[in-house]
Amino acid sequence: MRLLLLGCTGFIGKELVPALLKEGHQLCIVSRKDINNLKINIAIDKFKFLKINLSIKQNWSNENLISNLKDSDGIINLMGEPIADKKWTSSQKEEIEKSRINSTKFLMETLKKYRINPTVIINGSAIGFYGTSLTKEFDENSECGNDFLANLCKKWEKVAIEKPFFSRLVIFRIGIVLEAEGGALGKMLPIFKIGLGGPIGDGKQWMSWIHRSDLCGLIINALVDKKFSGVFNAVAPEPVLMKDFSKILGKCLKRPNLLPVPGTVLKLLLGDGAKLVLEGQKVLSIKLQEKIYKFKYPLLEKAIYASTKN
């Protein structure tokens, strides 16, 4: 397929782009970053690249962008400022929201304006849609939460639904993505490797996770498999408690799991964003049955071992 990739240049894109190329797809990647700052370790002659800031409405009239939109069979939209990289100040919250909602809104408006109907549109979202809870269990039929991230996901999905009538839309509510060189695991590894690791907070909060390879596998399957339509929780079948996550990580690294990170420290670093980590949520997917997708890493220990063996 001829694919237009939006926001696929960071931690997820590092594995997704090579995997898509391996499947034989032709790629046009659009990013506000300079091509030399992309995390993708692929020769630049293997794909098209457009440097455009898509959170600015005027940029959607770019002729090269429109031409590639018209040529695309599918669109993968993972645009958005990273959620947990910085403290949630008012300006950072605004950037987190604008980079997702405005960009996706402008995408759908542009497709309709030029009467472009890609076969499939894959749009990101997050399990933050459900809010946080220490006790509740959530699936695709659960209601939206009522905190900042839940409202953000609700708005993001609402604008994505305004897609062209004939395009199949797949929304992935993505859990905590695991791989060694980024995300939550990437931040925890250096601490554990020097023997200072331990659970965050009281360890009783749920972590609903997915290995990056399985997330990429879901996206690749969803491009061509029509059983993928609507909303799916992109999470592995077995969520775990933070204390168990910490214990398994220590075991895989053969390091102690003794020093918990106090919640107050996390609040100082992340502000309101600390709530995501300290309260978590137990999220299951009732739609990702084995006949639709067979997980490569269904269990946490196998996923962490695969991520840390090198």
Confidence (pTM): 0.93
- What's the CA dihedral at 257, 263, 267, 272 to 10 degrees? 110
The 10s digit of each residue's pLDDT in 95-146 is 999 999 999 999 999 999 999 999 999 999 999 999 999 999 999 999 999 9
CATH architecture of structural domain 2-177+209-237? 3-Layer(aba) Sandwich (3.40)
Residues facing residue 77 across a β-bridge: 6, 123
pLDDT of residue 83: 83
- For the chain, give the percent of residues with pLDDT over 90: 65
Binned at pLDDT 50, 70 and 90, residue 195 comes out as confident
What are the Cα distances from residue 143, in Å, to 154, 205, 237? 10, 20, 20
Largest CA distance in the chain: 58
Q: Which of 164, 184, 162, 166 is nearest to 175 (CA)?
A: 184
Binned at pLDDT 50, 70 and 90, residue 194 comes out as confident
Q: How far apart are CA 84 and CA 58, in angstroms?
A: 29
pLDDT at residue 35 above 90?
A: no
